[in-house]
Amino acid sequence: MRIVLVGPPGAGKGTQAAYLAKNLSIPHISTGDLFRANISQGTDLGKQARAYMDAGQLVPDEVTIAMAKDRMSQPDAVNGFLLDGFPRNVGQAEALDEMLKSEGVMLDAVLDLEVPEDEVVKRIAGRRICRNDSAHVFHVTYNPPKTEGVCDTCDGELYQRDDDTEETVRTRLEVYHTQTEPIIDYYRAQGLVVTISALGKVEDVTKRSMEALKKDRED
């Protein structure tokens, strides 16, 4: 399956993507995680992306699209993928369509996670991620690690992301409303959007997502 996950910052896209990708046996491709890995490795790409990320702005399309295409062309993504954080504006969605068309394949669904703004702010404020792997995500209240500050999965140090400050989160939400939300209408016109509430326990949201994707395939 080829799926796009969409939703505001802090909606739980990364958290859900980890479970959904495992259940569906497809790779989880997060452009945010790819940028963060480049930043921690000190690559030129990471240096280019950092200022935009710290400001809560989108990294320019030419950089992002090239990085996403490169990742999607790797062998593990040939038969499907779960995209998290890409595309993030209509230009990126058009570039993805072009890429898929050139390979004679299509998206199966766009899973839209709906969460009220006050909840995403709470989720972001308490988020802690692992220095070894930013896919290992915790929350100080909703999903606390067994030992404070230590990743349950790999014992890595947990930290708060640089772009999780109140001011940056406000900018990220605004960028989401103005630049990313329009892709929902773009994909709705293609009949691809499945919207679910992402409120409630993580496992309940995963169950709701799997059921919505299954129903979408049957329709």
Residues in contact with ligand AP5 by CB under 6 A are: 7, 9-15, 31-32, 35, 52-53, 56-59, 64, 85-86, 88, 92, 123-124, 126-127, 137-139, 142-143, 163, 172, 200, 202, 205
Measured CA to CA, the distance from residue 17 to residue 19 in angstroms comes to 5
**Of the two residues 104 and 202, which places its CB atom closer to ligand AP5 in the complex?**
202
The span from the CA of 111 to the CA of 108, in Å, is 10
Chain centre to alpha carbon of residue 175: 15
Assess whether 207 carries a catalytic annotation.
no
Q: How far apart are CA 198 and CA 113, in angstroms?
A: 5
Catalytic residue among 36, 71, 123, 127: 127
Contact between residue 23 and residue 102 where contact means Cβ atoms under 8 Å apart? no
Ramachandran sector of residue 149 (left: φ over 0; alpha: ψ -120 to 50; beta: rest): left
CB of 214 to ligand AP5, least distance (A): 20
172 part of the active site: yes
Which residue in 113, 137, 115 sits closest to 126, CA to CA?
Answer: 137
Neighbours of 156 (CB within 10 A): 17
CB of 215 to ligand AP5, least distance (A): 20
Our CB check for ligand AP5 shows the closer of 30 and 213 to be 30
Catalytic residue of the set 36, 88, 123, 128: 88
Contact, 111 vs 5, CB < 8 A?
A: yes
CB of 154 to ligand AP5, least distance (A): 16
Give me the residue whose beta carbon is nearest to ligand AP5: 32
123 catalytic per annotation:
no
Measured from the CB atom, the residue of 108 and 171 that comes closer to ligand AP5 is 171
The CB-of-70 to ligand AP5 minimum distance in angstroms stands at 13
Give the residue among 87, 66, 81 at the shortest CA–CA distance from 6.
87
From the candidates 2, 13, 71, 208, give the one annotated as an active-site residue. 13
| 36 has catalytic annotation | no
Residues assigned a catalytic role = 13, 88, 127, 161, 172
